[in-house]
Structure formats: C-alpha cells, structure tokens
Structure 1
C-alpha cells in the first residue's frame, strides 16, 4: 500500500483533473517500477490487445451487467475503465443468474476493428465488434450455437483465414481438459470447419487445461493457456507449424518458490517498443481474481515469463512515453447524468431497478424478493448496485436517505457474496430498525438472513395512511460504513456523519459463483404487493 500522501500529491500533479487516483491501491511506485497486482480488483480471465501505444483489456463478467468491461492503459500498469461491450444477455430473467453468461473473453484488433469473442456454456460462442472501444459496440453475433463452449480466441492468419480455439465446461457437456480448433469464415461470424481436438491436458499431466489464447509468431502457431486449476496451476505454451497441431508444449510460468498462488490465465502483449509482457490473474478468494503483469523472454524460442518462469511481485515498468498515474474509479458522488462505469447490476438492467437523477444522488427502488418461500435472502435479487472490491484493506462510507412506502421494506450497504453481510434499515410499525444482516450460505435458498437489531430510529417525516396503503415514511441523512481487512468486514453507522457507532461483530467475506465479493447497495421488499420504496444515495466514498 504505497499511496502515501506525498505520493498522492505527486500523482495528482501529473494527472489531469478527469483522471482518478485511488487512495487504497496504486501499482505504480513512482520510481519507474510497479508492484503487482497492476489491477487489484476482480477482473477474472483478463485478455489484452495492443494498438500502437494504447492497450485495451477485457475480462470475464459472467452474470454481472453491463458486461465485458473495457479498460485502457498507456503503459500496462496504470489502467482506467472506459466502457463495456455488452448491455444485455438475460432479457427475460427476473432473478440473478449466478455463474452464467460471459466466460473468459478474448479481445483482438483486425482490419481496423476491435473484436471480442467469448463462450457462454449454456448457449454457444458469441462475438461483438466496434471501431471505437470506448464507444458503442454492435449487437452480439452467435458464431457457434451449442452447450459447453468456454474460453474462445480467434486468430486471423496472413492469408485472411480465421481460426478459433476454445475450451470446454465439464458441468455442461461432460468433459473438459481438451482444447479444440476450428475454422471460421473470414469475417469471423460463423464456423465453416469441423472441430479438431489439438491438445489433451489429462494425457500430458496438465489437468484442467483451459483458457487458451491463440497467436502466431515467426511462422509458429502458439496457444498459451493455464492448467492445473485456478489456485495451484501453471501456464503452458504450446507451438505447432499448423493451427491444427500437433503441438509441443512447455511450462513457462508457475509459482515456484514464490508466495503467488496460480498464476492463472491471461494474455500476451507485444508492444511497439519491442517488449513482450503477459497479464494474468491470481485468485485471492473472497477478493476475487486480480491482474498481474510479468515480462516475457523469447530468447530460448519459448515465451519464458517472469523471473525465469517464476512470477515477479515487483519489476520495472514497460517502456512507455506516458507519465500518467491513473486507477480504476471507485468513489462516486453521483453528480453525473450517467451511472459510473464501476457499477454493475446482478442481471440485465431494467429502469425499474433505479435511475440517476439531476439532483446529485442515485435513486435505487425496492425490489420484490424473488419467490423463495418464506426466505429473506438477497442471493437472487437482480437490482443490487455493486462494484468490485478495490484493495485488500479499505473503508467504504455512504450517505443516503430512505423513503419506505410499504411495511418491512429494507435497504442498506452490503458486502455481497454467497456469504454476505450488510448494515441497513428496515421499516417497522413506528419507524426503522438499524440492522446487521448476515447470511453464511445464501446459495442454500432455504437459509434466511440472521438479523441483529442494533438501534431504532424515528422517521424524520411521516405521511398519512391512505385506504389500503401504509403511510409513507422518510428518514434522512443516514451514514453507513464498512471496513474491510484480512477478508473480514466490520460495520458502523452515524446520524450526523461525525459520531460513529459500531454495528454488530466481525463478518467473513465470501465468494460468489466464479467471482469474489462485491460491495454496494440493496433495496428490497418482502411483500408481494404495494408501492416501491427507494433510497437516494448521495455519495459513496472509498478511503483508507
């Protein structure tokens, strides 16, 4: 954690006002070196493309929407979010589709356009493209329809032919560990060749071979991919004179004597300065899968990564003309007419979830809890406004107001995963309860939140009941806080933003389906009928 105040002053003097400097994690040491992770947030299965001196990264987004995040960098160390390539994938779903959707995308630049391919194991292989990665992307095209497809990468050859490599999801099709290559049409929109298995991980001692990335260098076809599993695996490089093999292979990056578990899949980048680098992820459990950067040495004819095949924690920065230090945005004052790019929903966005306003806050409406019997459980609620965990240790503070229009509606600040906890308010007959909610295994749909009432608060405004309708009740200016350290969460609250009271105990962070914990807001209603309530979120701030 190197962003001391002196360093922050230097950072901001080098950056324009629109660029965001994080208080809690910056990989740039300010002396020509960087410390991994270069993105200390859950960008699983990263892939990168270089276009001149610009680098663009995308990553798995699974069910979270908008999906296919697009990040930009000038030096492979300092990254910012510039957009998303996918706006819809579950238009008819009314509850969260955990662990479904976008698996391990690849991003490529071909004939003046950017392409992203990904596998959806329940539907098939998709592609989107654009000329402007920070702008709008075209609607997805289904390239191959079917079950089990994951981890897809195209390769356009010098003769204009296009090939695609992919892995397989055992949970959908009954096998994995093998890689398949087939030919696509020259425009990359449909398969024109039959699938061919080019590598068998189990047969070579490389179990769970997956996440392949396809390249061509010096007349060789290269596939870079991980094997051995997320936490204990390694990186393979394999080469052949034909896209269909046979491929010879070597291990080119593994944990060795370091403390870095994995390291897992990523993408190779050749820069305009003649350097070679590899961005991969490291699994950090409840914190998610964060992005690391390693140098690549081709002098042996193979892409040996890191320090002779072991990962670096600290190294010199890639050559670049850029001096800017910038980080993915975390804090939000909600002063814009567009929602900040760091926020995602648990499902396709619907306007009934919530909306930006011109009044300096975001309005999040209550959502009827999905049909789970008598369970009060957030697991399948799609309208939670969430973002990725930004660092190993930080504090998140928010100021909000709650307008309840129905009995028992409840809202708050949540650390969301399969084991989640939250601090918030629930309407009662006379006012509000300040509550801590904890659910140690939310995936078990019969498991209801454990609720601890910490305080009772009177409404600051109360309406008159109408026939058949409860009275509208408001409470203004409630401040909520979570502090995260060592995979644990602590909560606090305040009425004036100055005097803080601890709320509840200490709660473990959990993981979701292929993702880490996320932080943000929920607003739900256990009733089947009645008017929506809402919270107006004034601001959300990440600090030390």
Structure 2
C-alpha cells in the first residue's frame, strides 16, 4: 500500500511515519524534483509543523552532530560498511540530505565517532574494532572533503571518543569508562596517557539492563558549565537497559557532579515504541531552543538497527536540563526557524551514476574492492568474488521501512552466481541467487536448496520483506509476469541480540564465482 500525504497526516496521531516519494536520482536539486521521485520511504517531517520520529530511519546509531553556523552536520557509526561515515546536512534538524562519505580506507569496524570543528578545520575521531582496537583521526578543510588519510592515535583500550576544548583552550578526548586524554594543539596526536576523571552515576541494582557499560560521552558547554552526557545500561539486550545520564562541572578538569534527575532518558517498559534509548548529544536549534539526538531500537524491529531520534530539551531553573518528548511515539512540534532541505535519498537506482558511499556500500571490503565495479549504458557490472555472500563483499543499502520490496534485472556470465539478499553479516543472511542452471537459496547464512533454474543466465528477481516475512519471485520477461519461488522465510531473529555486531538487516546484491554479473533497473518500494 502506498500512503499519500493525507493518509500519513491522518496516521500521525498514531505511530505511522510519513511516506513521500523518493527518486531514482541520487540527489534531486529541488523540492519539485523530489516530489516526482518514484519510490516511497518514511520520513519524519509531517508537513504541518510537526515531525514523527525517527528523523533518520534504519541503522543510524551513535549520532555525532556538529552545529556550524546555520548548518548542521551529522554522521553515525558505519561499522564494516565502506565507504563509511556518510556525512548528512540539515538546516532544521528534521530533514537531512547526504553529502558523502568521509572514510574510504578499511581500518576496521567503525564505532561511535566524534565530529568537531576547531580553528576552521573539521575533525572526525574514529574508534575501530580491529586487531588491535584503536582510535583514529581524519581531518578536512571543507566538510565535503577531501578528508585526510586516517592517523592512528594509538589508543587501544577505549571506545567512543568525544572532542572538547576546555576553558583554557586545551584540547581533549573524553573516552568510555569516564576517562580522558589530552590532545596536541593540532588535534592529531595525544599528549600523555589516558586518566580517569569521572565515575558515572549508577542505576538501582534491580533494574533490568544489559550491563553497566559507561560509554558514548558527549560534552556541551552552556551557561557556565560543561555538561557530560553518558550512556549506561548496555546498548542492546533488554529494551529497558540503555539510558542517558548527565553530569556537569564548571571546569573541563572537574569535579563532576551527577544530575539529580538521572536517568534523563530510559525505556521503562517493552510496550513503548522505542527501546534501548541512549548515546545522546545536545545541540542548539535554529531559533536558540535545545534538542537531543540519540538512537533507539524500534519496538519489535531490532532488524532495523538503532535509528536516530530527536527529543526536545528544556533547561531547568537549577541549571540542569531535561528531555520533554516522552516515549517519542507521538508527533512533536518541529524546531523553530531554519529551512528544510529535501530529505533523504532514493534507494532505487537506474545506474546512470554510482552513489558508492551514499546509497551503496561494500561489507568489509578488501583494498581496491571498488575496482570490481563499472557503469555503462545504465548497467552496473560487478566482477564476481568469493563463493557466496559470506566472502563476496556484497553491495548493500540501508532501508528504514518495516516493509519493502526490491527487484532488479540480473544477467550473469558462465561461472557466475549472483542474486539479491537480505544481509546482516557474513554469518547471517538470506536471499536468492542463481547460476546458469540452478537457483541457490540462502538461509541462516548458509547455501541450502538448489532447484532447477528455468530462466538461464538472465532474469528479474524480486525480494519482499513484509514485516519480517520474506518471499521471492522470479520473472523471465523483465517483470511482466512473476512466479513465486517455493521458499519463504521469517527473519525477525536476524539482529544483534542473536548474532552480535550492532548491525541491521540490509537489502543488497552480490556476485560470486568467476566472471561478472550485470545489474539493471534496481527498484525499491516501501510497503
């Protein structure tokens, strides 16, 4: 079903988010062009002065935001997806457009980063899970790049850096666990070793959480105080675990006092729409009001990963602050002021250009993985690699709808196996592929049934994920007539609490074996 603006506005009193058309163009220039786009995805802006969370759907965890004049820039943990660290731009905190990726070289699984501007230069401090774990920095003179090559800061025992400048001009990274380390004046190396400066507030011992896990520190300076916002309770696990706490100090050197109202955000019951809410950042809105951005899991949809939520903030008479949006299941008034940019990004692709790093990304690519790709005549040619999705570095999208379908024309060489997949990671995925003689069914991260393929080396495949019920259809005449494939699946368990990794179930395509596969007319439609 396709919702009109009127349908969505009527539904906004409940829990449905607005669906608007999005196009096959990578970045339409005007709202009129945007309205002519072909697919539909949910967006937050209801068009009547209100918005409904999430402001960015799908796996957009650990939001790191920078206010730069009247512009806002945002990025997220990108984990094993490369190019990674896509930067997004907004003028009103609700509508966001992608600029492009900042990180191109695979340095490991990218976790919660810090985005900062200092003395006219932009910085990204990047923790990675690798061998060994570390924290890196890249920098650019323009937010659009080019960004520098990564510099290893040699911090192997911490995650979740936050860049902050003290009242004396000193530069610091605050780290997980209540630690910090000083930075050099240019921000490209550390001075000394990490030190412990804060013991985070603890919740009552009988609360149902995943673990203490103090992480995600974010610091903002306001009204004579430095406010330190921390996540505790564990990132996933029980829906009631993750939460937001705060402390403050007059000096960046402490001492830190805990907010008497901690926790400031917490899911209290699994019946709420948003679970495991945490990793908050405070930011001043266009009209001087204040907002918090943090992530959360959508009720019953761990498969979508942690999505970005926007919560209004009120400063209290005693100099503390509170979030006022409640459980975020209802529409809220948009931030005052600011102008809306056209929101989002099309997921359909006619392959006129390759939006690598915005629309598409590789999973855990090797060096020069992009050399496998070429474009000509509205055709994406992908050189085969590996034996199956497990080792073929598939091309993936982030889709934020609870129901959608995607289909594509695929033509293969002899010796090539290609298809469409729903991919969590290299050990947990499902989908349908084919070679010139047989289909191959992917399920539970394994290659299973291989029935006869009646279409040969070219067909159109369609995958439907309707709220975790997955079906496949095939067509030998370009999609005029479809045949239901005799294998359906249920994928509600393809998520972090089963597999780990903090990822999401992502639609995509792959090519394995030898030779090449050619993909044409990729269409994505929200249901």
User: Which TM-score band (shorter chain)?
Assistant: 0.7 to 0.9
C-alpha change, 1:103 and 1:321, in structure 2 (3 Å) is closer
| Cα drift, residue 539 of structure 1 | 2.1
2:412 is equivalent to residue 412 of structure 1: no
**How many corresponding residue pairs?**
478
SS state of the match for residue 104, structure 1?
A: coil
Match in the other structure for 2:101: 84
Partners of 1:452 and 1:508 in 2: CA distance: 20
Instruction: Give the conservation status (yes or no) of the 8 Å contact 1:46–1:60.
Output: yes
Match in the other structure for 1:64: 81
2:165 is equivalent to residue 153 of structure 1: no
C-alpha change, 1:147 and 1:102, in structure 2 (3 Å) is same
2:440 is equivalent to residue 435 of structure 1: yes
2:265 is equivalent to residue 253 of structure 1: yes
Partners of 1:306 and 1:491 in 2: CA distance: 44
The TM-score with structure 1 as length reference comes to 0.81
Question: What do residues 115-170 of structure 1 show as CA deviations (whole Å, max 9, x unaligned)?
Answer: 11121243422111112222321111222x14232100110234321011011xxx
Instruction: Give the conservation status (yes or no) of the 8 Å contact 1:21–1:325.
Output: no
Partners of 2:353 and 2:515 in 1: CA distance: 23
Question: What do residues 188-247 of structure 1 show as CA deviations (whole Å, max 9, x unaligned)?
Answer: 112214322223348665812111112222221221121112242211111122324332
1:535 to 513, 517, 525: 517
Match in the other structure for 1:207: 212
Matches within 5 A, 1:176-195: 178-195=177-194
| Cα drift, residue 111 of structure 1 | 1.7
2:401 is equivalent to residue 391 of structure 1: yes
Match in the other structure for 1:139: 149
C-alpha change, 1:326 and 1:162, in structure 2 (3 Å) is same
C-alpha change, 1:10 and 1:383, in structure 2 (3 Å) is closer
C-alpha change, 1:449 and 1:57, in structure 2 (3 Å) is same
Match in the other structure for 2:490: 507
Partners of 1:311 and 1:337 in 2: CA distance: 36
Instruction: Give the conservation status (yes or no) of the 8 Å contact 1:268–1:279.
Output: yes
Matches within 5 A, 1:463-502: 475-476=457-458, 478-496=459-477, 497-502=479-484
2:364 is equivalent to residue 347 of structure 1: yes
Partners of 1:458 and 1:193 in 2: CA distance: 65
Instruction: Give the conservation status (yes or no) of the 8 Å contact 2:100–2:357.
Output: no
CA RMSD of aligned residues (A): 2.7
Match in the other structure for 1:112: 120
2:320 is equivalent to residue 302 of structure 1: yes
The TM-score with structure 2 as length reference comes to 0.84
SS state of the match for residue 69, structure 1?
A: strand
Instruction: Give the conservation status (yes or no) of the 8 Å contact 1:202–1:208.
Output: no
Partners of 1:484 and 1:523 in 2: CA distance: 21
Partners of 2:38 and 2:247 in 1: CA distance: 39
Partners of 1:505 and 1:276 in 2: CA distance: 47
C-alpha change, 1:273 and 1:202, in structure 2 (3 Å) is closer
1:223 to 228, 236, 243: 228
| Cα drift, residue 393 of structure 1 | 1.1
2:519 is equivalent to residue 522 of structure 1: no
Match in the other structure for 2:13: none
2:55 is equivalent to residue 41 of structure 1: no
Partners of 1:87 and 1:483 in 2: CA distance: 31
C-alpha change, 1:111 and 1:18, in structure 2 (3 Å) is farther
SS state of the match for residue 488, structure 2?
A: strand
Instruction: Give the conservation status (yes or no) of the 8 Å contact 1:164–1:182.
Output: yes
Structure 1: which 5+ residue stretches go unaligned?
A: 91-99, 168-177, 370-376, 443-447, 460-474, 526-531
2:350 to 333, 347, 351: 333
Partners of 2:157 and 2:3 in 1: CA distance: 43
SS state of the match for residue 303, structure 2?
A: helix
C-alpha change, 1:364 and 1:140, in structure 2 (3 Å) is same
C-alpha change, 1:484 and 1:10, in structure 2 (3 Å) is closer
Of 532-541 and 199-208, more deviation after overlay is shown by 199-208
Instruction: Give the conservation status (yes or no) of the 8 Å contact 2:95–2:340.
Output: no
